[in-house]
């Protein structure tokens, strides 16, 4: 069974161990048609994801949804109303680091597993194999993309999640730039937003990012261990701004800032994405770097204004 | 009788001094514990919006208003008389029964201060959040962060309890920002609790909530240096249940009565009293009982506060601006039922001899308005429509609030399909002394069609 997902916390190795074929949903196109159940102030990513589902941008049989933000938590109900014959698996993922909340999540996953396989020993065995394979692939990918410019990296990582493809190193040109270095982070980053990165790279070099669709997805390697330890790794080690408190995410950024000696930060927030748009001040205060917030709702009207702001940020 | 602000002040002049002196908070005898003040006092302190509203002219309701607007003073006094102050955020109703099991604790929801800019017709708190780069397209609850910065609305809490999870994003972000203010502060402890979603299989959620509550009871016991016992919790729950039961009786009496024995503004305040009893559970119990008796008497005497012909409607999601309630009532409707997203604070906590009280608290919390599917929330509204034979439903919203963006259309569809009554959806704009003309036109058209 082909199963679509988009959240970084999705236990992909487990899905593979269950003989499912996970496909990461990273929309490449922007469609105008959306569901009437989304109000105008709903998340532009979720609206566009829905449009891509309706337009059959991917071929899959089921969707695996986690509940990191309110929009994600409510998406299943909208999909159920709008798309016939789509199997929807909704798993609650905790916002806090409360251990009983982890147990809640673990039990949800156990129930999910039981839908496909009753032999937990077998799953544990397969899971270890899948973790090993994916970790190796991710390490190899990381080595390759480290030398690429940001957009090329985003493209290669996207392909990796979609079709598991790792390109040959010799076909990729290493990247060198003397422009000022920035850290680029923010909401779910898809090809629809890539033009923003192009604009940024007119003035700066994006040497590091924390997008779950680019670097964050390949920066972490679960232990080759049993199901519970594996899930606990996802629960406790992978940073996300939506977790409470979100200190692990900030520490992750701090390491990037120090490692790459970055002086400026560009925060990209999709319109109505509270998780990122509330954080500008905290980023500035915690990381002690000038921070530019740019917002987008995928509309082309804002691009000129955005470029002016990026230019002004460069001059400042 | 419903009166305007100026008449209300005149009425106050006729209240004898001995009655004013009778009402005191925290069961204190001292003069400083008085809370019945002329409404003018609150307007002078900045609550300008009062001048645009209408009020129930009874002494019982005057007492209600005095008590609510006195809360800031009361919280500072609590600190002075060595009570510990617990700020509860996000869960809207689950935790106070535990807090009020301890004698020296006062729990309150800063969340309720989202009404502050509207009652004061003042943008100041929004400006503070603007300076902190909060997005304008987010829920008005963002002003709570500003109230922490201002240090004028409540004393520094001894403990902050922030609940998040199956809840709205906006307030989760606000709590994160408040956490950032306090996490280095050794004098204020900050704890995060997880709100689980309501799913078919309830055991895991009950277990999680129960452990939250047990952990919390332990922390509170350490803070107060007061031994926690199950008996204390049971007696705390019984006290809360008494209030919830009386509120349920009141709501049913008001909603089912031929006449409107009480206005919607007072009912809104009374419903939110179930959250933290405006920081004084014992006095709140008396105020609520006083109003319940007043309503009984009015029904008996066939004495309503609104025109008898007013059409019955249900209100969903609390309006940030109370002026809207008054406008609806002035223009031919009567709000007989509500779903103000605090269903968890209205349900009776099912304690009995065979049940652990923490489990009872957890079970009760699982009835929360926003932790399940939108369809389930729609049923709460549909039940109100059927119970009170309402002719329409109003859903008020906040532009940018996370749950509104995904639930509103589903709510509308479900309600219209199951009840065949019209649904009006309105966005409540930023504080103002007037309702925008375009919104008034929409409201009037809706009322004409009921």
Q: Are A265 and A185 in contact (CB under 8 A)?
A: yes
- Checking if the pLDDT of A286 tops 80, the result is yes
Q: Burial of A179 by CB count in 10 Å (0-12 exposed, 13-18 middle, 19+ buried)? A: middle
Q: Burial of B316 by CB count in 10 Å (0-12 exposed, 13-18 middle, 19+ buried)? A: buried
Q: At A131, which helix (H) or strand (E)?
A: helix A120-145
pLDDT, tens digit only, all 450 positions of chain B: 899 999 999 999 999 999 999 999 999 999 999 999 988 899 998 999 999 999 999 999 999 999 999 999 999 999 999 999 999 999 999 999 999 999 999 999 999 999 999 999 999 999 999 999 999 999 999 999 999 999 999 999 999 999 999 999 999 999 999 999 998 787 889 999 999 999 998 999 999 999 999 999 999 999 999 999 999 999 999 999 999 999 999 999 999 999 999 999 999 999 999 999 999 999 999 999 999 999 999 999 999 999 999 999 999 999 999 999 999 999 999 999 999 999 999 999 999 989 999 999 999 999 999 999 999 999 999 999 999 999 999 999 999 999 999 999 999 999 999 999 999 999 999 999 999 999 999 999 999 999
Chain-wide mean pLDDT for chain B?
96
Dihedral sign (CA A87, A91, A95, A97): negative
Q: How far apart are CA A217 and CA A10, in angstroms?
A: 11
The arrangement of strands across the sheet holding A2-5 comes to A21-24, A2-5, A62-65, A87-90
How many other CB atoms sit within 10 Å of the CB of residue A119? 10
DSSP E strands, B114-231: 159-165, 189-195
Chain-wide mean pLDDT for chain A?
94
Mutation target to probe the B interface, by most B beta carbons within 10 A, among A50, A72, A73, A250 is A73
- pLDDT for position A77: 97
Dihedral sign (CA A157, A163, A167, A172): negative
Among B138, B373, B408, beta carbon nearest to A274? B138
Q: Burial of B22 by CB count in 10 Å (0-12 exposed, 13-18 middle, 19+ buried)? A: exposed
The arrangement of strands across the sheet holding A291-296 comes to A204-209, A180-186, A264-270, A291-296
Through-space distance between the first and last CA atoms of chain B, rounded to whole angstroms: 25
User: What backbone torsions phi and psi does residue B362 show, to the nearest 5 degrees?
Assistant: -65, -45
- pLDDT for position B274: 97
- Using the beta-carbon criterion (under 8 Å), do B176 and A81 form an inter-chain contact? no
- Using the beta-carbon criterion (under 8 Å), do B207 and A38 form an inter-chain contact? no
Mark which residues 4-63 of A lie under 8 Å from B by CB. 36-39, 41-43
Among B134, B135, B165, beta carbon nearest to A95? B165
Using left for φ > 0, alpha for ψ between -120 and 50, and beta otherwise, residue B277 falls in left
- Using the beta-carbon criterion (under 8 Å), do B212 and A98 form an inter-chain contact? yes
Q: What is the CA radius of gyration of chain A?
A: 19
Q: How far apart are CA A42 and CA B330, in angstroms?
A: 33
Helix ranges (DSSP H) in A146-264? 150-163, 194-203, 227-237, 247-260
Q: How far apart are CA A315 and CA A165, in angstroms?
A: 39
Q: How far apart are CA B418 and CA B411, in angstroms?
A: 11
User: What backbone torsions phi and psi does residue B39 show, to the nearest 5 degrees?
Assistant: -50, -30
Q: How far apart are CA A45 and CA A271, in angstroms?
A: 9
Specify the 3-state DSSP secondary structure of A42: coil
- Count chain A–chain B contacts defined by CB atoms under 8 A: 143
Q: At A137, which helix (H) or strand (E)?
A: helix A120-145
- pLDDT for position B184: 78
Residues of B in contact with A71 (CB under 8 A): 169, 402, 405-406
Through-space distance between the first and last CA atoms of chain A, rounded to whole angstroms: 52
Q: ipTM of the assembly?
A: 0.96
- pLDDT for position B257: 97
- DSSP for A144-167, written as a single string: HHTTS-HHHHHHHHHHHHHH----
Specify the 3-state DSSP secondary structure of B204: helix
How many other CB atoms sit within 10 Å of the CB of residue A7? 20
pLDDT tens per residue across span A153-202: 999 999 999 888 788 776 667 677 789 999 999 999 999 999 999 999 99
Residues of B in contact with A94 (CB under 8 A): 165, 194
Q: What is the mean pLDDT of residues A258-279?
A: 95
- Cβ neighbours for B29, distance < 8 A, ≥ 6 positions apart: none
How many other CB atoms sit within 10 Å of the CB of residue A173? 10
A236 touching B (Cβ < 8 Å) = no
Q: What is the mean pLDDT of residues A274-298?
A: 93
* Closest alpha carbon to B278 in B78, B126, B81, B38: B78
Q: How confident is the model at residue A48 (pLDDT cuts 50, 70, 90)?
A: very high
Specify the 3-state DSSP secondary structure of A301: helix
The conformation of residue B44, written as its DSSP 8-state character, comes to H
Mark which residues 197-216 of B lie under 8 Å from A by CB. 197, 199, 201, 204-205, 207-208, 211-212
- Using the beta-carbon criterion (under 8 Å), do A75 and B173 form an inter-chain contact? no
Q: How far apart are CA B227 and CA A15, in angstroms?
A: 48
- Using the beta-carbon criterion (under 8 Å), do A67 and B166 form an inter-chain contact? yes
β-strand B2-4 against B54-56: which pairing, if any? antiparallel
* Closest alpha carbon to B169 in A226, A129, A74: A74
Separation in Å, CA A162 to CA A2, A57, A197: 12, 12, 21
- DSSP for B112-125, written as a single string: GGGGHHHHTT--HH
Mark which residues 188-217 of A lie under 8 Å from B by CB. none
Specify the 3-state DSSP secondary structure of A297: coil
- Cβ neighbours for B297, distance < 8 A, ≥ 6 positions apart: B303
The conformation of residue A133, written as its DSSP 8-state character, comes to H
Q: At A6, which helix (H) or strand (E)?
A: none
Residues of A in contact with B405 (CB under 8 A): 38-39, 41-43, 71, 272
Specify the 3-state DSSP secondary structure of B295: helix
The conformation of residue B98, written as its DSSP 8-state character, comes to H
Residues of B in contact with A36 (CB under 8 A): 409
């Amino acid at each position: 069974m082909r199963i679509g997902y988009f959240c970084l916390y999705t236990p992909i190795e487990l899905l593979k161990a269950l003989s499912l074929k996970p496909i990461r949903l990273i929309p490449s196109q922007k469609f105008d048609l959306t569901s009437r159940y989304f109000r105008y102030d709903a998340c532009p990513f979720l609206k566009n994801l829905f449009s891509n589902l309706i337009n059959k941008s991917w071929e899959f049989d089921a969707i695996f949804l986690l509940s990191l933000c309110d929009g994600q938590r409510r998406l299943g109900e909208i999909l159920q109303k709008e798309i016939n014959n789509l199997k929807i698996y909704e798993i609650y993922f905790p916002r806090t680091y409360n251990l009983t909340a982890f147990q809640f999540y673990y039990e949800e996953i156990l129930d999910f597993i039981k839908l496909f396989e009753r032999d937990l020993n077998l799953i544990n065995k397969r899971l270890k194999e899948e973790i090993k394979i994916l970790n190796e692939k991710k390490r190899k990918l990381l080595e390759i993309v480290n030398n690429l410019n940001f957009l090329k990296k985003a493209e290669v990582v996207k392909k990796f999640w979609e079709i598991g493809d790792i390109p040959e190193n010799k076909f990729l040109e290493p990247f060198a730039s003397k422009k000022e270095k920035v850290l680029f982070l923010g909401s779910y980053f898809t090809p629809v937003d890539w033009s923003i990165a192009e604009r940024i790279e007119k003035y700066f070099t994006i040497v590091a990012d924390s997008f779950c669709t680019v670097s964050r997805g390949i920066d972490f390697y679960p232990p080759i261990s049993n199901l519970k330890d594996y899930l606990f790794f996802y629960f406790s080690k992978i940073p996300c701004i939506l977790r409470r408190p979100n200190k692990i995410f900030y520490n992750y950024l701090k390491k990037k800032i120090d490692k790459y000696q970055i002086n400026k930060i560009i925060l990209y927030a999709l319109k109505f994405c509270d998780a990122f748009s509330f954080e500008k001040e905290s980023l500035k205060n915690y990381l002690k770097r000038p921070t530019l917030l740019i917002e987008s709702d995928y509309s082309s009207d804002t691009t000129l204004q955005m470029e002016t702001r990026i230019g002004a940020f460069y001059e400042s | 009788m419903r009166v305007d602000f100026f008449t209300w002040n005149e009425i106050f002049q006729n209240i004898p001094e001995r009655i004013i002196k009778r009402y005191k908070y925290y069961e204190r005898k001292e003069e400083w514990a008085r809370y019945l003040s002329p409404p003018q006092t609150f307007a002078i302190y900045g609550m300008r919006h009062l001048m645009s509203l209408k009020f129930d002219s009874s002494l019982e309701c005057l007492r209600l208003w005095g008590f609510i607007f006195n809360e800031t003073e009361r919280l500072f006094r609590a600190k002075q008389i060595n009570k510990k102050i617990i700020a509860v955020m996000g869960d809207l109703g689950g935790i106070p029964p535990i807090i009020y099991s301890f004698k020296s604790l006062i729990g309150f929801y800063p969340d309720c201060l989202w009404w502050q800019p509207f009652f004061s017709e003042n943008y100041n708190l929004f400006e503070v959040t603007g300076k902190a780069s909060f997005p304008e397209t987010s829920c008005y609850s963002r002003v709570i962060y500003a109230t922490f910065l201002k240090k004028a609305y409540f004393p520094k809490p001894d403990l902050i309890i922030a609940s998040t999870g199956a809840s709205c994003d906006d307030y989760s972000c606000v709590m994160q920002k408040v956490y950032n203010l306090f996490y280095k502060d050794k004098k204020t402890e900050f704890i995060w609790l997880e709100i689980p979603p309501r799913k078919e299989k309830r055991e895991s959620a009950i277990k999680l909530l129960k452990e939250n509550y047990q952990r919390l009871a332990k922390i509170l016991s350490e803070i107060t240096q007061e031994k926690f016992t199950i008996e204390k919790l049971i007696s705390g729950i019984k006290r809360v249940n008494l209030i919830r039961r009386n509120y349920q009786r009141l709501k049913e009496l008001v909603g089912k009565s031929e006449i409107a024995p009480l206005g919607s503004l007072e009912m809104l305040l009374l419903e939110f009293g179930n959250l933290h009893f405006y920081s004084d559970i014992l006095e709140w119990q008396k105020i609520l009982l006083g109003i319940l008796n007043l309503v009984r008497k009015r029904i008996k005497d066939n004495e309503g506060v609104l025109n008898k012909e007013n059409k019955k409607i249900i209100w969903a999601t609390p309006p940030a601006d109370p002026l809207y309630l008054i406008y609806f009532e002035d223009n031919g409707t009567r709000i007989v039922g509500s779903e103000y997203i605090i269903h968890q604070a209205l349900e009776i906590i099912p304690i009995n001899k065979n049940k652990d009280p923490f489990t009872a608290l957890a079970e009760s919390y699982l009835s929360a308005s926003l932790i399940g599917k939108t369809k389930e929330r729609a049923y709460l509204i549909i039940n109100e429509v059927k119970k009170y034979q309402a002719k329409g439903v109003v859903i008020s919203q906040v532009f940018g609030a996370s749950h509104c963006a995904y639930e509103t259309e589903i709510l509308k569809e479900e309600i219209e399909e199951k009840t065949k009554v019209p649904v009006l959806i309105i966005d409540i704009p930023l504080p103002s002394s007037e309702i925008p003309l375009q919104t008034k036109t929409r409201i009037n058209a809706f009322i004409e069609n009921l």
